[in-house]
Amino acid sequence: MKNSLNRELSAELLKEKDYKPFENATIGNPEIQRTAPTVRVSTGDGKLVDSIADVVKKTLKDGMTISFHHHLREGDFIFNQVMDEIIKQGFKNLTLAPSSLTNVMNDKVIEAIKAGVITNITSSGMRGSLGEAVSHGLLPNPVIFRSHGGRARAIENGDIKIDVAFLGVPNADRLGNANGMEGDAVFGSLGYALMDANYADKVVLLTDNVVDYPNTPASIKQTQVDYVVKVDQVGDPDRIGTGATRFTKNPKDLKIAKMVNDVIVHSPYFKQGFSFQTGSGGAALAVARYLRESMIDKNITASFALGGITTPIVKLLEEGLVNRVMDVQDFDKGAADSMKNNRNQQEIDASWYADPDNKGAMVDQLDVCILSALEIDTDFNVNVMTGSNGVIRGAVGGHQDAATAKMTIISAPLTRGRIATVVPHVGTVVTPGESIDVLVTEVGIAVNPRRQDLLAAFKQVPGLPLMTIEELQQKAEQIVGKPKPLEYTDRVVALMEYRDGSIIDEIHEIK
C-alpha cells in the first residue's frame, strides 16, 4: 500500500492497528468525541507516599501504559529512578508513552526492553543508543512516533490511554498542587505534563520540595493528583539547554540565520502584530537575534511568540518587541526562570499549542515559523527523525504542527560533513512538502513552487540568492556524491503518524 506521498506502507500493519494512510495536511472540521480519565475519589490527606517503591506497588499492573514528561531534558533524574523500581518489581508488557525520550533515559529503557518490562513505546522522539537499538530490531513492536500536537490529540481522543503518569515537579503541596516555577529544579512551563495530569487514570507527582498547602499558582491541581512522593532530587535545570537547543557560533549557521531573517523581513508577513515560532536548531535559534534588529529598525512588534521558548525570545518580551510569549516548553533555564516573573509569558498545554482536533490551536494563528531539518527532498518533504545511515536519531516535536504557519521556513546547511541535506528523496517523511514554503541554506534559497506569491515577492529583493530546490540538490550531490542505498529488512520498527493520526511513513529495521 502507498499513501499520497508515494511512501510504501504495510497494509497488514495498518489494518491491525486501525490506521489510515496519510492523504494531505488539511485537517478539516470533524466532530470529535473526547475521552475522560477514571477518577479515584479522595477527600482526605492520604496522598503523601513514602517512596517510589511504594507508589509503584500501589499503582502498577502488568500490561499498563505509563507516561513521563521531558521538560528537564538531559537534566531529568525522575525517569531512571521510577523505571529502576518498575524493573526491580518485575512488571511486564508495559507501554511507555512519554512526551519524548532523551539520551539520559536510554540505558534504562534498553534494560527494560531486554527484561520484557517495556514491549511498546509511543513518543515524540528517540536518540542515541536507544534509537540505534530500536533501529536494529530490539523492541518487539513498532514504536509510534507522534508530534506534540498529535500526542495531545491521541490522549484526548483515547488513542493513548495512560494508566499511570509519573510527573517530576520542582514543588508540590501534600495534596498535589504544583507548578514549574519554584524550587531547585525549576523548568518553567509544564505544557506537556499538563496533558498527562488531565487524562491519566492515576497521577503521581514526584518532587524534592514539598511546600505548605495550598500551593499557588497551581498548574497541576489537587483535583488531578492521586499521590505525591518526596524524592532527593528531581533534576538539574542547568542541563535543559544541552543537545538540540545549543546556541551556535558556527559561521555557516549564522549566515543561514541572517538569510532566514532576510526572507522574513521581505515577506508579506513581516508587519505590525505578526506572530512567529523558532525551532531548536542552532541556526533557528540565532534567527531571534537578527529578527530583533529588524523589528527595532522597522519599528515593528510581534503579537506573540510560540512554542519551545529560549532566553533570546524572553529578551524580546522584556524589551516590548513581543507582546505575549505562549509557552509550552522552556528550552533553557533563562526562559524557565522568566515565567514566574512575567505575566505576559503564558503557560499553555500541548492541546492549546497544537492539537489539530480542538476548537482552535495556537499554531493555527502563526504567521511565520522557522524549523530545522536532517534532510529535505526536492518535493520539500522533511525528515527530522532518521539519519543518513537509517538510524532513528531525532524527534517529531512540534515540527508537523508549527509547519501549518502561513510561511514555514526550513533553515539547514546544504551538507553536513560528507552528508547531503538536500536530497532526491528523504529517508523518512515527517512533515509533508505541502506544508513547507521556503528552504534557506548557506548557498541559496528555494521557494516551494506552490508559493508563487512568495517567489514573486522575493524576486524584487536585490541580492537574495534564489534557486530551485533541484539546483540545491544537485549542488549538494556534486559536493558529497551519491550515497550507496541503505538496506533494510521487511520488518517495521516504527510508524510515523501525521498530526491527524494517519500514517505518513514507516521506518524499517536496518539490515
Residue 333 reports pLDDT greater than 90: no
Give the mean model confidence (pLDDT) for residues 336-365.
95
pLDDT band of 246, cuts 50, 70, 90: low
In angstroms, the first-to-last Cα distance of the chain is 22
Range in 44-48, 484-488, 490-494, 503-507 with the lowest mean pLDDT: 44-48
Residue 92 reports pLDDT greater than 60: yes
Give the mean model confidence (pLDDT) for residues 216-223.
97
Instruction: Write down the pLDDT at residue 158.
Output: 96
Instruction: Write down the pLDDT at residue 510.
Output: 96
Range in 13-17, 28-32, 77-81, 187-191 with the lowest mean pLDDT: 28-32
Instruction: Write down the pLDDT at residue 243.
Output: 52
Q: 135 CB contacts (<8 Å, ≥6 apart)?
A: 386, 390, 391, 392, 493, 507, 509, 510
Give the mean model confidence (pLDDT) for residues 447-455.
98
Give the mean model confidence (pLDDT) for residues 30-57.
92
Report helix, strand or coil for 472.
Answer: helix
Q: What type of residue sits at position 240? A: I
Give the mean model confidence (pLDDT) for residues 44-73.
96
Residue 244 reports pLDDT greater than 60: no
CB atoms within 10 A of CB 106: 19
Q: What angle do CA 264, 266, 267 make, to 5 degrees?
A: 65
Integer Cα distance of 194 and 256 in angstroms: 35
DSSP structure class, residue 503: E
Report helix, strand or coil for 128.
Answer: helix
pLDDT band of 249, cuts 50, 70, 90: confident
Residue 40 reports pLDDT greater than 90: no
Q: 510 CB contacts (<8 Å, ≥6 apart)?
A: 135, 136, 389, 390, 391, 486, 487, 488, 489
Q: What angle do CA 502, 507, 511 make, to 5 degrees?
A: 160
All three cell numbers of 258, joined, read 541572517
Residue 281 reports pLDDT greater than 70: no
Q: Is the dihedral of CA 467, 253, 331, 390 positive or negative?
A: positive
Chain segment 93-140, per-residue pLDDT in tens:
999 999 999 999 999 999 999 999 999 999 999 999 999 999 999 999
Residue 152 reports pLDDT greater than 90: yes
Q: Side-chain half-sphere of 94: how many Cα atoms within 13 Å? A: 29
Place of cell 505518513: 504
Q: Between the CA of residue 79 and those of 222, 233, 372, 476, what are the distances in Å?
A: 22, 12, 28, 41
As a whole-number percent, the residues of the chain with pLDDT over 90 amount to 90
pLDDT band of 28, cuts 50, 70, 90: confident
- Please, are residues 236 and 185 in contact by the beta-carbon 8 Å criterion? yes
pLDDT band of 269, cuts 50, 70, 90: very high
Place of cell 560528507: 418
As a whole-number percent, the residues of the chain with pLDDT over 70 amount to 97
Instruction: Write down the pLDDT at residue 307.
Output: 87
Residue 55 reports pLDDT greater than 60: yes
Instruction: Write down the pLDDT at residue 250.
Output: 83
pLDDT band of 16, cuts 50, 70, 90: very high
pLDDT band of 247, cuts 50, 70, 90: low
- Please, are residues 378 and 358 in contact by the beta-carbon 8 Å criterion? no
Mean pLDDT over each residue of the chain, to the nearest integer: 95
Residue 245 reports pLDDT greater than 60: no
Give the mean model confidence (pLDDT) for residues 43-49.
89
